[in-house]
Amino acid sequence: MRENIYLIYQLRNLTATRDYRFRTYQDLINAGLSVDKENYNYIYKGVLDEDTTLDSIFEQFNLNQPCDFIGHTLSVSDIVVIHKNGKATAHYVNDIGFVDVPEFLKAPYKYYSTQRPISIGTFPKENSPIRIVNFDRREWVEDTMFQAWGFITYDAPLTQQQVQDYELRAAQDNPDDVHISPYQVDGDSHGTQ
């Protein structure tokens, strides 16, 4: 059985995402832009209890942030994903309230290259990659759990053997693969009391 959790995503700090920052959803659409999961970093994972709502998450991450939260206050253009009772919903933080963004959940499978920039011979070609992104330098990713040189995305998951052979690391929030590791929830962490 899956845990009931919420995930917070914030735009990556890149020149390419500058036009997306702090825009209302309607402004984003009017500018011909869209909500693209690849523009976001996964920042935080917390446990949902019966009383948790989008508004209470917004309030917590603006007034009483958990000590292990590394992002900025929850702001316009951030995304909150709720995993509850086996269903996931994505919500764009708007100027007033939230906008449902189901397109955020239709993201491909993402794998990070932790040992080297992605180049010829450094990734499996059996499943045709959708996108290859190399960072300007090695960056902390996945809630600062590890560093990577870039990422590659696919329509279908790679096998465990492919991941090992190419020294890749699967993103924590790949479709059907979101879970809480024991070291991420320890009683009072993530704002649960």
Per-residue model confidence as pLDDT tens digits over 29-43: 999 999 988 889 888
* Higher-scoring residue by pLDDT: 117, 128: 117
Question: What residue type is 71 in one-letter code?
Answer: G
Per-residue model confidence as pLDDT tens digits over 58-99: 999 999 999 989 899 999 999 999 988 878 899 999 999 999
Tokens of 19: 């036009």
Report the percent of the chain where pLDDT is more than 70. Answer: 87
CA angle 91, 25, 103 (to 5 degrees): 50
Separation of alpha carbons 106 and 63, rounded Å: 31
Tell whether pTM > 0.85. Answer: no
Residues 6+ apart with CB under 8 A from 118: 132, 133, 134, 149, 150, 151, 152
CA angle 1, 177, 169 (to 5 degrees): 145
